[in-house]
Structures are given as structure tokens and as C-alpha cells.
Amino acid sequence: TMSPITPQPTPVLNRSAEVLGGTLVFTGTRVPFQTFVDYLKAGERLADFLEDFPTVTRDQVVAVLENAQQSLVRETNATLVR
């Protein structure tokens, strides 16, 4: 019996030479990830970002934040193990 194929999750961020010259953007949009970072650094609310960039979904932003959290936890754990 063949095991079922698990679909790979779609990356939340994407980089392509054809989209804004290779700038890291939210997948399926032309919205740079850096724009989201800039909003947060300026103290803007998530709701404002989503309103200003309706092609980015709340799920995409949550996934980016969760991925960042997981990366930070992994890095911290790796540092503590040494």
C-alpha cells in the first residue's frame, strides 16, 4: 500500500526576480515583508497593516510571526545546549 502524500504547505513568503526585483514578499502579493516589519517598528497596529494591504491575509501574518517565534526558540535552545 502506498502511503498518502502529505501536501507541502505553501511558503508564506516568496522571493522571485520577476516580483519587485527579488524582494521578499508575502506569497501571492507584491507586498514586501519589510513593509510589515516597518509597520510594527513604527508602532502601527496589525489591523492597520491588513487594511492598507488587503492582498495580505491575517493567516499569512500569523504564520510569519509563528515561524519567527519557532526560529528564535530553536536558536535559543541551540545556544543553551552548547
pLDDT per residue as tens digits for the range 1-59: 566 776 667 789 999 999 999 999 999 999 999 999 999 999 999 999 999 999 999 99
DSSP string, 8-76: PPPPSEE--TTTGGG--EETTS--BHHHHHHHHHTT--HHHHHHH-TTS-HHHHHHHHHHHHHHHHHHH
- Give the count of alpha carbons within 13 A of 72, CB side only: 6
pTM summary value: 0.78
Q: Which three cell numbers stand for residue 9?
A: 504547505
Would the pLDDT of 80 be above 80?
no
